[in-house]
């Protein structure tokens, strides 16, 4: 029997990683159409009007936007809870998630990963070195200063593992693809938290798949994942040549 859930989107996306981590932490099986960024065809556009990944399909329900999907999974499967029980802490966790989804995404995803990987390998363009340098030297340090001010000296952001921790770990994992690592002497709390979450079994399993697909061109990624035993959808919506025009890789 096919798993209940279908996910559309690549393992390289931090937005996809958030959703896959939530599914794995909640013990929910899924199959995946791991379309690389920017290659979704017209069937994909019909499911995701802003052409964002991930898409989650649950029977007749089609959802897009990682925050909406993660909250949906929480509403459906209360255990283990990935949102703080305390109402104020829950709001702060959602804010840190939003901070990751917009601000960290604008820096780590669009100013580092997109420039170095997507622009070069998908669109044959040179990265914007000045943009990347300003992000690395000014903007990302400022964001890390803020995060450091919000995190506890040790442990997860709000006691138990929550969507805030999952989001932070997901974005810095995509940053690691372009060799960005948090300086633990300067931002020890953020570095320790990200390390702790990325060491969890679901993140470790995903990391193996991420490493595997990053070594091969997009058209070979499905075969690599099939060999690794990943449950793939029967067909793929990633049939177009890469084209720009998505609002973001989400």
- Shorter beta-carbon distance to its own copies: residue 24 or 58: 58
Which is nearest to 161 in space by CA: 108, 202, 211?
202
Question: Is residue 23 a contact partner of residue 73, using CB atoms and an 8 Å limit?
Answer: yes
Say if residue 10 is preceded by a cis peptide, omega within 30 of 0: no
Closest CA to 169 of 90, 96, 249: 96
DSSP 2: -
Only segment of 6-14, 97-105, 155-163, 194-202 that touches its own copies (CB under 8 A): 97-105
Nearest Cα to Cα of residue 95 among 31, 26, 146:
146
CB nearer to its own copies: give 106 or 198.
106
For residues 133 and 243, give the distance between their C-alpha atoms in angstroms, rounded to a whole number.
26
Q: How far apart are CA 196 and CA 186, in angstroms?
A: 17
Quick check: 149 and 156 in contact, CB under 8 A? no
Q: Does 95 bind its own copies (CB under 8 A)?
A: yes
**Contact in structure between 15 and 209 (CB atoms under 8 Å):** no
> x/- site string to its own copies, residues 59 to 78, per CB under 8 A?
--x-xxx-xxx-xx--xx--
- Quick one: 117 or 148, whose CB is closer to its own copies? 148
* Nearest residue (CB) to its own copies, 46 versus 181: 46
Binding mask of the shown chain, residues 102 to 131, with x at each position contacting its own copies by CB under 8 A: xx--x-------------------------
CB of 13 to its own copies, least distance (A): 17
Residue 88 in contact with its own copies, rule: CB under 8 A: yes
Applying CB under 8 A, the span of 9-17, 84-92, 118-126, 187-195 interacting with its own copies comes to 84-92
Query: Do 150 and 189 form a contact (C-beta atoms < 8 A)?
Result: no
Kindly state whether residue 190 participates in binding its own copies, applying the rule CB under 8 A. no
C-alpha 33/C-alpha 36 separation (Å) is 9
Nearer to its own copies, 102 or 219 (CB): 102
Please give the Cα distance from 29 to 2 (Å, whole number): 9
Binding to its own copies (CB under 8 A) within 31-50 occurs at 49-50
Span of 9-17, 87-95, 167-175, 186-194 interacting with its own copies by CB under 8 A = 87-95
Q: Which residues bind its own copies (CB under 8 A)?
A: 49-50, 58, 61, 63-65, 67-69, 71-72, 75-76, 87-88, 90-92, 94-95, 98-99, 102-103, 106, 146, 247
């Amino acid at each position: 029997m096919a798993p209940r859930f279908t996910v559309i989107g690549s393992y390289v996306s931090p937005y996809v990683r958030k959703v896959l981590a939530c599914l794995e932490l909640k013990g929910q099986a899924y199959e995946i159409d791991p379309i690389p960024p920017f290659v979704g065809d017209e069937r994909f556009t019909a499911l995701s009007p802003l052409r964002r990944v991930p898409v989650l399909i649950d029977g007749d329900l089609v959802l897009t936007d990682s925050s909406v999907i993660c909250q949906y999974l929480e509403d459906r499967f209360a255990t283990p809870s990935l949102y703080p029980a305390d109402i104020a802490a829950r709001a702060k966790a959602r804010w840190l998630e939003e901070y990751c989804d917009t601000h960290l995404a604008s820096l780590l995803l669009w100013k580092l990963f997109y420039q170095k990987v997507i622009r070069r390998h998908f669109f044959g363009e040179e990265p914007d070195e000045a943009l990347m340098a300003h992000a690395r030297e000014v903007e990302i340090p400022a964001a890390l200063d803020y995060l450091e001010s919000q995190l506890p000296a040790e442990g997860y952001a709000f006691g138990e593992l929550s969507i805030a921790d999952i989001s932070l770990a997901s974005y810095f994992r995509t940053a690691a693809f372009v060799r960005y690592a948090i300086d633990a002497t300067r931002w020890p709390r953020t570095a320790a938290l990200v390390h702790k979450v990325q060491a969890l079994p679901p993140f470790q399993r995903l990391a193996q798949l991420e490493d595997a697909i990053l070594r091969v061109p997009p058209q070979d990624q499905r075969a690599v994942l099939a060999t690794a035993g990943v449950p793939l959808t029967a067909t793929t919506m990633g049939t177009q040549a890469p084209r720009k025009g998505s609002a973001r890789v989400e």
